[in-house]
Amino acid sequence: MSRKFFVGGNWKCNGTTENVKKIVTVLNEADVPSDEVVEMVISPPFVFLSLVKGLLRSDFQIAAQNCWARKGGAFTGEISAEMLINLGVPWVIVGHSERRTLLKESNEFVADKVGYAISEGLKVIVCIGETLEQRESGATMDVLFAQIKAVADKVSKWSNVVLAYEPVWAIGTGKVATPAQAQQVHKELRDWFVKNVDVNVARTIRIIYGGSVTDTNCNELARLRDVDGFLVGGASLKPDFVKIINSASVK
Ligand SMILES: O=C(CO)COP(=O)(O)O
């Protein structure tokens, strides 16, 4: 089993030119494992992509937080996969629960975005997750399987996909999943790939966890067999993020 640890920092809709520069300075000076050990990806808002790309050290990669589902054109306010490629942005986050909920992105729409982004040569961090209500009613795995099945119908090149399990109830709440909860879901997702895609894909796909990851809970989560890294929101805007990257070393 060789799955390179993956740590993404999702800045969401935060930042000014000044504090983007400050965060990048912290990262540029940080002591982190080599990019052979951990893949580090920073996801600023679109308007700061070029700034971050220009300033950030080269062992960190960058990701956009969204892209349009098809070729660009008359889609006011959207950003196309072609534009990201043109800008030299290798990654995109698709299907974040904030977009699924607030902007009503359906499983099918998310899957269209993933399929198109991959066909254009982007690598994609696909986010899936259940709400608290869904968890409490015992529907967690059904919800996650439906989200991933829609994506699987549009993807053949899984090496360009990282799957982020982000329980909605854990995002921005300070209520992190317990190690047992995270391990169980990640294992069931991997088993789903064995049954529905391919045993090699199941073995190699990175399944990362997101939702209230901090410098104090990252190590116990990083040790879990089926947790291959993190997608970090709030803590990725702080120097604490460096410690989260360094949790790669407990793997
Ligand atoms: O949504 C997330 C990352 O995409 C997680 O956000 P928090 O780390 O702020 O809970």
Nearest atom of ligand 1 to the alpha carbon of 93: 4
Which is nearest to 130 in space by CA: 183, 169, 184?
169
**pTM of the predicted model as reported, rounded to 2 decimal places:** 0.98
| Rounded Cα gap, residues 84 and 86, in angstroms | 5
Element (H, E) at 148: helix 140-152
C-alpha 165 – ligand 1 centre gap (Å)? 11
Return the CATH number of the domain spanning residue range 5-250.
3.20.20.70
- Its ipTM equals 0.99
Residue bearing tokens 């040569």: 121
Per-residue pLDDT of the chain (251 residues; tens, 9 = 90+): 589 999 999 999 999 999 999 999 999 999 999 999 999 999 999 999 999 999 999 999 999 999 999 999 999 999 999 999 999 999 999 999 999 999 999 999 999 999 999 999 999 999 999 999 999 999 999 999 999 999 999 998 999 999 999 999 999 999 999 999 999 999 999 999 999 999 999 999 999 999 999 999 999 999 999 999 999 999 999 999 999 999 999 98
Our answer on whether the CB atom of 215 is closer than 6 Å to any ligand 1 atom is: no
